[in-house]
């Protein structure tokens, strides 16, 4: 028997204003998208903005449904649309802002497990890291250099086709 230790690293910025300008602009768009969230049930709103290597920024917000599981997280709304519209384009960065009602969330909110798995699919596909930047409504901003850093042991399609 042997033990394996997996560790991870983040950068923490004290506030939005401390982000480099490109990431500041991406997060600003995620915050704007968050304001368009349709979240009448949870009252938890999330905005996401994806930066592509063709310079396009695609935004999304969470979309809830009276049949609860039919709703979709902001990150997947944005990334699925980005990849549907620009299938050949690489994803460089994803910014996320999430908050409970009254904009009172001041801690960085990481993407849920299903979103991490959805996003890492594209990281595997494009073979380059996707930078993930996340925050609440205000306060500290966290930055991860890749999704693999947020999702160790991510499930990738090599398992589907291998004999191991």
**44 near ligand THU, rule: CB under 6 A:** yes
DSSP letter for each residue of 44-64 = EEEEEEEEETTS-EEEEE-B-
* Catalytic machinery residues: 75
- Quote the least distance from Cβ 108 to ligand THU, whole Å: 12
Residue 71 binds ligand THU, judged by CB under 6 A: yes
CA distance 26 to 31: 9
Determine, following the binding rule CB under 6 A, whether residue 42 of this chain makes contact with ligand THU: yes
Give the binding range for ligand THU (CB under 6 A) out of 72-80, 85-93, 138-146, 155-163: 72-80
Q: Which residues lie below 8 Å from residue 114, measured CB to CB, with a gap of 6+?
A: 73, 76
**N- to C-terminal Cα distance for the chain?**
20
Task: Examine residue 136 and tell whether it contacts ligand THU (CB under 6 A).
Answer: no
Q: Is 98 strand, coil or helix? A: strand
Could you say whether residue 141 binds ligand THU (CB under 6 A)? no
Give the CA distances from residue 50 to residues 124, 129, 142, in Å, rounded to whole numbers and listed in that order.
17, 13, 16
Choose which of 23, 64, 123, 131 interacts with ligand THU (CB under 6 A).
64
Cβ distance to ligand THU smaller for residue 70 or 162:
70
Count of other CB atoms within 10 angstroms of residue 97:
32
Q: Is 52 a binder of ligand THU (CB under 6 A)?
A: no
Closest CB to ligand THU among residues 73, 147: 73
* CB hemisphere CA count around 41 (13 angstroms): 11
Q: Which of residues 111-130 bind ligand THU (CB under 6 A)?
A: 111-112, 115
Chain contacts with ligand THU (rule: CB under 6 A): 39, 42, 44, 46, 62, 64, 71, 73-75, 111-112, 115
């Amino acid at each position: 028997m042997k033990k394996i230790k997996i560790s991870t690293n983040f950068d923490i910025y004290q506030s939005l204003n401390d982000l480099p300008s490109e990431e500041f602009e991406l997060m600003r768009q995620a915050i704007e998208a968050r304001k368009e969230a349709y979240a009448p049930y949870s009252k938890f709103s999330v905005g996401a903005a994806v930066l592509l290597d063709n310079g396009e920024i695609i935004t999304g917000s969470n979309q809830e449904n009276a049949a609860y599981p039919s709703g979709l997280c902001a990150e997947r709304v944005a990334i699925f649309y980005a990849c549907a519209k620009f299938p050949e384009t690489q994803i460089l960065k994803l910014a996320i802002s999430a908050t409970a009602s009254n904009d009172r969330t001041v801690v960085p909110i990481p993407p849920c497990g299903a979103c991490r798995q959805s996003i890492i699919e594209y990281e595997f596909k494009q073979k380059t890291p996707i930078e993930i930047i996340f925050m609440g409504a205000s306060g500290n901003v966290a930055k991860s250099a890749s999704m693999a850093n947020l999702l160790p042991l991510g499930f990738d399609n090599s398992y589907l086709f291998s004999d191991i």
